[in-house]
Chain A
C-alpha cells in the first residue's frame, strides 16, 4: 500500500491525537520513531491542571424567592444570568486556549472526545467547571472511574433530570441515556433494565454548593433485576454491572476508533477483527483508556493512506488547529464564540445528550463557504458578512452573533516563517502545502493558490498569502 510522505504521517499523528503540530515541532521530531513520540505525548499529558474562574451562583429557586421578597429586581436577575453566561464563555475560551497551547494536548483531545460522549449542557458555571475538569482529569485514566464520577457530576444529574428521580416518582432519563449513549448502545438492553436501573439511581442528586449528595429517603432500596441479575442494587452497582458487560468495551472502543481513525469504519473482516482485538484488550486491561489510545496510535494500520487526511475537522478542531500552527492570540473572547457558533459547535453547548453529529454533517453550502473564508477573517481581518442564528433561549443571548473583534487577532508569523527559512521561494507553495494539507495539492488548486501572490511581495507577505490560501482549500477541512 502506498503511503503519504513521512512528514504527513507524523502530522497525521499530531492531527488525530492532538490539534495539529507547529512546523518547528515537525522538523524537530522528524527522526523520532512513532513509538517514542506516542510515549512522549502520554508523558506530556500526565499532569492535570484544572480550569478555573467560575463562581458559585444562586440557584434559580433561591433567585425566585429573592424576587418575591423584593430583594432582587428583574434587572438584578438579568445581570446575574448574564454573568453566569459570561463565566461559561470564559471557561470555553480557557479550554480552547489549553487545546491550542500544545502542552498536555493528548489529554485535551481525549477530554474533547469525552465532552462529546458525555454531552451535557447546563447554565450553572460552577457545575460546568466541575464537569469539564472531571472529564479532563480522567480523560486518559480508567473508563470505569470516568463513568462513575461523571455520572455523579451535578451538571449531568441536572441535565438528565436525576434530581427528579425519586422513589415514588422515578425519572428514567439518566438510566436510559447511561445505557443508550454512555455504555451499551441501542439494542443491548431492555426497557425493563432501564426501569429497574432508574430505581437504583433514585436519591442521586446535588446540593446548592454544587456537590453530589445521596438522599437515602428518596432512594428505592428494594430488589431490582437488571441484566438478569437480582439484588438491592444502588446506583454504583448499576455502573459496575454496565462495566461487566463486554458490550460496553466494544461500544467505547468503536466510538474512539471512529474519533481517532475512521469516521465510517469499513465492515470488512480486517476492520471487524481489528475492532474485536482492540475491544478485548480494552476490556482485559480494566478499561485502560491510555493503553487503548497507545495501541491505536502506534499500530501500522493507523498510518495507512486511506485514513490520512480523510477526516472532516470539527469546527473546534479547525479553529484550534489554526490557532496552534500559527500561535494565534485572540485578545477578545467574542470572536472565538462567534466562529464556534457560526460553524455549529460551541463547547459546553452540545445540541443534545447525543453530542454533535460528526463527519460530513459539518459540511453544507453555507458552513463550507464560511470555513473557506475563515483564514481571511482571522489572519487578515476580512469583513464578516454572516450572522449565526439565535437559538431561541433568551438566556444565551450574551453569546451574541456579531463577528467583531477579529481586528485585534495576532499570529506569530516570525516563528512560523523561521521554520521555512531554508526553503527557496519557488518551493514555498509546496513546502507550505506539505505542512498544512494532509491531502496532496492538486495542479489546479496549486494554480489558484499561486494567483493569490502578487509580484514584488516580500517573503513574509508571500508566506502569509500562501498560507491563507492553502487554509481556505477544501483539503484543509480534512485532517
Chain B
C-alpha cells in the first residue's frame, strides 16, 4: 500500500478524528476541504403532503380555474403577477421580491408518466427517481454519493439532511448521507465515551460477519463525519460558526440557517436536504396553505439574502418540490384532494433565464380531472446532476434524460 493511500484510509475510514495525530488531521482537512463540485451547492426543500400548486402559482387569467374553485380560487387582483398568465400566492411576497431580482425560475407542469396519488408512493418515486412501476431501495442523492466514492472511501457528509432521521433520497448502495439537525447535537451524541470508544474499535475484516463490519464502518464514518463538521463549523474554539443573517423563527428558518452556517464555514458538503410538512390540505385549505407558503417564502428570502451578503448567491442553488400537486376542482370541505403535476422552484445559482421557464398549466387538457405533466422531474434532476454538481447523471439516474437549459 502506498503511504498516501494509507494516510487517507486511516484518516477517513478507520479512526475518528480525535485520535488522529495533528499532521494527519491537517492532511485530512486539506483533502476534504477541496470541493468536489467546483464549489457548487444544492439545497433541496421538500414540501411534504402534496402542495397545491395551482394556488401557489396561480393561473389568474384562466376561467376554468375560477369555475372549478368557487371558494378557493385567489382573486386576480390579489395575485403577485409573474407575467400576464400566472402569479404567486399573495402570501409569497418574499419570493416575489426574489423573483424581481431575477433569482427565481418557475418550472410548470412537472411530473412523471402514470402518476401515483399516494403520498408515500409518489414521494418514493421523487426520492428514488424511479419509474412509477419500479421500486428502488436507493435514493437519487444516495447514488450521487455512491458515484463520488473513491478508493479511499466514501464521504457521508457530502450530503447532509438537516433532520433527526434520514430520507430515502439520501440512501445509497455503498454510503448514506448524514442526518444532522445541528452539528453540536450530533457531535455530542458521538462523543459519549461508549459510542466514541466503539467508533474507534478496529473490526477484523476477515473474521466475523460482513454485516458487523458494515455496522462498525457506519459508526466510524458517523463519528468522523460528525467530528469533521463540528471542527470545521467551529473553527475558533468550540462555537459553531454563527451567521450574521436574520432568519424567521420557524422550523424551516432554523434549518436554512444551519445550512447557511455550514456553507459559510466551508464544510465540503454539496447537497443539503430539508423537508417541511403540512401541505395535505383536504380541509379548510386557505389559512393553512397561506401560513406555510409565507413561512417558506420568508425563510428562503432570508437564506438567499444571507448567501448574497456572504458572496455565495451564485454558488448556491435551492430547489423546491412536492410529491404531487392537487386536483383542479376543489372538494366539498373547502380543500383539495391529491392530484398530479406540480410546479418546481429553482432559486439562486445564477440561472438562466431566471424567469418562468415554460408554459402555464393547460386546464382544458386534463387527465381525469388532473393536470398533465409536460416536464419529467428526472430531467430536472439530470440537469442539476450534470450541469450543476458536475456528476454522472446517466449512471446515477440509470438512464439518459434530456437536460433542461436552466443551469
Contact = CB atoms under 8 A, between A and B. Distances in A.
Interface string A437-466: 001101011011001100000000000000
Given A352-B121, A365-B178, A388-B164, A67 B332 contact: yes
B357 interface: no
A361 B190 CA distance: 21
B219 interface: yes
Interface in B105-127: 119-121, 123-124
Interface string A379-400: 0000001111111111100000
Given A366-B164, A367-B165, A352 B211 contact: no
A428 interface: no
A354 B121 CA distance: 10
17 contacts: A74-B284, A77-B283, A360-B214, A364-B179, A369-B189, A390-B278, A391-B48, A392-B50, A393-B120, A394-B280, A439-B209, A439-B212, A440-B208, A444-B201, A448-B193, A448-B197, A478-B215
A445 B198 CA distance: 7
A405 interface: no
A363 interface: yes
A367 B48 contact: no
Interface string A387-423: 1111111110000000000000000000000000000
Nearest to A469: B194
B218 interface: yes
B167 A389 contact: yes
A296 interface: no
Interface string B275-288: 10111111110000
Contacts, number: 154
Contacts of A68: 332
B120 A121 contact: yes
A474 B119 contact: no
A342 B163 CA distance: 12
Contact of A364 (B124, B171, B216, B281): B171
Give the 10 A-B CB pairs with smallest separation, nearest first: A392-B48, A354-B135, A390-B277, A357-B137, A394-B280, A310-B209, A474-B215, A365-B222, A392-B49, A386-B164
Interface of A: 64, 67-68, 74, 77-78, 121, 176, 263, 306, 309-312, 342, 344, 351-354, 357, 359-361, 363-369, 372-373, 385-395, 439-440, 442, 444-445, 447-448, 451-452, 469, 472-475, 477-478
B52 interface: no
B57 to A, nearest CB: 20
Given A310-B212, A365-B176, A448-B198, A352 B185 contact: no
B221 interface: yes
Contacts of A310: 209-212
A206 to B, nearest CB: 19
A351 B120 contact: yes
Nearest to A343: B165
Interface string B197-236: 1100111000011111011101101100100000000000
Given A344-B165, A393-B280, A478-B212, 8 more contacts: A68-B332, A309-B209, A364-B177, A365-B179, A372-B198, A391-B48, A448-B198, A475-B212
A237 B277 CA distance: 45
A389 B194 CA distance: 27
Nearest to B213: A474
A444 B49 contact: no
Interface string B340-380: 00000000000000000000000000000000000000000
Nearest to A309: B209
Given A67-B332, A67-B333, A364 B48 contact: no
Interface residues of B, number: 60
Contacts of A447: 197
Contact of A389 (B124, B180, B202, B277): B277
Given A392-B50, A448-B197, A439 B222 contact: no
A74 B333 contact: yes
Contact of B216 (A311, A452, A474): A474
A452 B189 CA distance: 17
Contacts of B176: 364-365
A263 B137 CA distance: 15
B149 interface: no
Nearest to B223: A365
Contact of B201 (A312, A360, A440, A445): A445
Contacts of B168: 351
B212 A365 contact: no
Given A306-B209, A444-B201, A478-B215, A392 B222 contact: no
A436 to B, nearest CB: 15
Given A68-B332, A444-B201, A342 B135 contact: no
B166 interface: yes
Contacts of A360: 211, 214
Contacts of A312: 211, 215
A365 B224 CA distance: 11
Contacts of A440: 208
Nearest to B116: A352
Nearest to B175: A364
Given A67-B333, A68-B332, A74-B333, A389 B215 contact: no
A386 B182 CA distance: 12
Nearest to A121: B120
A451 B193 contact: yes
A394 B282 contact: yes
A448 B123 CA distance: 41
Contacts of B275: 389
B280 A392 contact: yes
A57 B306 CA distance: 51
Contact of A368 (B137, B219, B225): B219
Contacts of A475: 212
Contacts of B53: none
A351 B116 CA distance: 13
A389 B181 CA distance: 12
